[in-house]
Amino acid sequence: MTAAAPAGSDSGITLEHAFDRIAASAAARDAVPTPSFPEDAIALLESAGALAWNAGWGERSRPPAAAELELVRRAAWADGSVGRILDGHINAVERLIVHAPDELRERELAEVRRHRLRAGVWGGDPAPGEGPPAALVKQGRADVLRGVKTFCSGAGGLDRALVLARDLEPGPPVAVWIDLNDPDRVEVDERWFRASGLRASVSHRVVFHDAPVLARFGGPGALGQLPWFARDALRTSASWAGMADAAVEAALSELAARPERGALEELAAGRILTAQRTIGVWIEHAARAMDDPSPDLAAVSVHARVAIAGACRTVLDEASRACGSRPFALGGQLDRARRDLGLFLLQHRLEPLLARAGAAELEERPR
């Protein structure tokens, strides 16, 4: 796969060069006892224009979805944690474009294009005992954000976050744009995220102390609107695909290097390749649906994610059983890919969505 260089890349650094350098340093970032925001890797992507990938709508046509999904996939192949942050940034920029008030939209997009603004989307609510969920509070005539969000990828290294918060009135949550650069208003709890996977994504717990709301993005429930929610979800599945690619590469290299290999190793390699190609077919189908949004996009999003997640689990299962314990004992690329991808897949419950799709189909058929 080769991601085309996006408009806005004026540093001479190509995306492929950035991906290779990020991949070469991924193990070192993962090995740090207490990882910090991966500034070196994100700066490479920024210099190559990846963070401005979709920030120029109105000046040029929307980037093709196939190229956009490939960009996310390649970043996640290089380093799952870095890919997770890029995925969130692209999602945030898209919502800035489609939901933000005009003046703020143009000002913030200009900063993204100048490589001076990094963003994310934070939607995770705290568990009992982790603090009150983030909610809007009226302070004079202005709204402020008070409370807690968890799984905040990129915490400590981003400038803005689109935060899903409880509204002043009962009802669906509202998406609000928050400036993250005031440490008195935005507190990052760096002790919270201690997972063995996606370590450099620094997906910490964040506490908002009456942080000013720069803008609301749409009305209550706007973050779930189509086609944007489906596009967000499919970009996430491209991140899964990239982490699976890293696992495939590591597993096949491990099996090929064995001095003696037989039918079992060959069968495992075949199954791994079939799963990877299944992922590719669904990514291609998803890209076509994203470029030509229709009522089918929501269904494509569900079925693609279910199929891609299943194929990713097949890759990890076949690779683990065929390669045995040695690659995991030594902590190489296969071990890191399994930790990153396993954790990320657990963050998305697809079964209820699939059951709903199945129920809708059955209702359409005669009894």
- For 72-117, what is each residue's pLDDT tens digit? 999 999 999 999 999 999 999 999 999 999 999 999 999 999 999 9
Spatial separation of the C-alpha atoms in residues 344 and 342, rounded to whole Å:
6
In a domain, 4, yes or no: no
- The CATH number of the domain holding residue 56 is 1.10.540
Name the residue among 286, 329, 324 with its Cα closest to residue 305: 286
SS3 track for 256-321: HCCCCCCHHHHHHHHHHHHHHHHHHHHHHHHHHHHHCCCCCHHHHHHHHHHHHHHHHHHHHHHHHH
Over residues 20-36, the mean pLDDT reads: 95
> Is the domain of 295 the same as that of 247?
yes
pLDDT at residue 291 tops 70 = yes
> Is the domain of 344 the same as that of 270?
yes
In a domain, 10, yes or no: no
Provide the whole-model pTM.
Answer: 0.93
3-state secondary structure of 49: coil
Spatial separation of the C-alpha atoms in residues 72 and 87, rounded to whole Å:
6
> Is the domain of 175 the same as that of 193?
yes
* Residue 332 structural domain: 226-362
Q: With bands split at pLDDT 50, 70 and 90, how would you rate the model's confidence at 5?
A: very low
Name the residue among 138, 187, 134 with its Cα closest to residue 165: 134
Spatial separation of the C-alpha atoms in residues 6 and 345, rounded to whole Å:
28
pLDDT at residue 10 tops 70 = no
Cβ neighbour number for residue 129 with a 10 Å cutoff: 5
In a domain, 8, yes or no: no
pLDDT at residue 1 tops 50 = no
Contact status, residue 1 vs residue 19, Cβ threshold 8 Å: no
Of 65-69, 270-274, 281-285, 328-332, the least confident: 328-332
> Is the domain of 262 the same as that of 290?
yes
pLDDT at residue 197 tops 70 = yes
Give the model's pLDDT for residue 259: 87
Contact status, residue 311 vs residue 276, Cβ threshold 8 Å: yes
Name the residue among 6, 74, 64 with its Cα closest to residue 41: 74
Bridge-based pairing of strands 204-216 and 186-189 is antiparallel
Quick one: what percent of the chain has pLDDT higher than 70? 96
Spatial separation of the C-alpha atoms in residues 92 and 123, rounded to whole Å:
12
Contact status, residue 95 vs residue 217, Cβ threshold 8 Å: yes
Q: With bands split at pLDDT 50, 70 and 90, how would you rate the model's confidence at 61?
A: low
Tokens 């970032």: give the residue: 29
Count of structural domains within the chain: 3
In a domain, 267, yes or no: yes
Q: With bands split at pLDDT 50, 70 and 90, how would you rate the model's confidence at 12?
A: confident
Over residues 8-35, the mean pLDDT reads: 89
- For 229-248, what is each residue's pLDDT tens digit? 999 999 999 999 999 999 99
> Is the domain of 253 the same as that of 337?
yes
In a domain, 3, yes or no: no
> Is the domain of 357 the same as that of 246?
yes
- The CATH number of the domain holding residue 140 is 2.40.110.10
Q: With bands split at pLDDT 50, 70 and 90, how would you rate the model's confidence at 60?
A: low
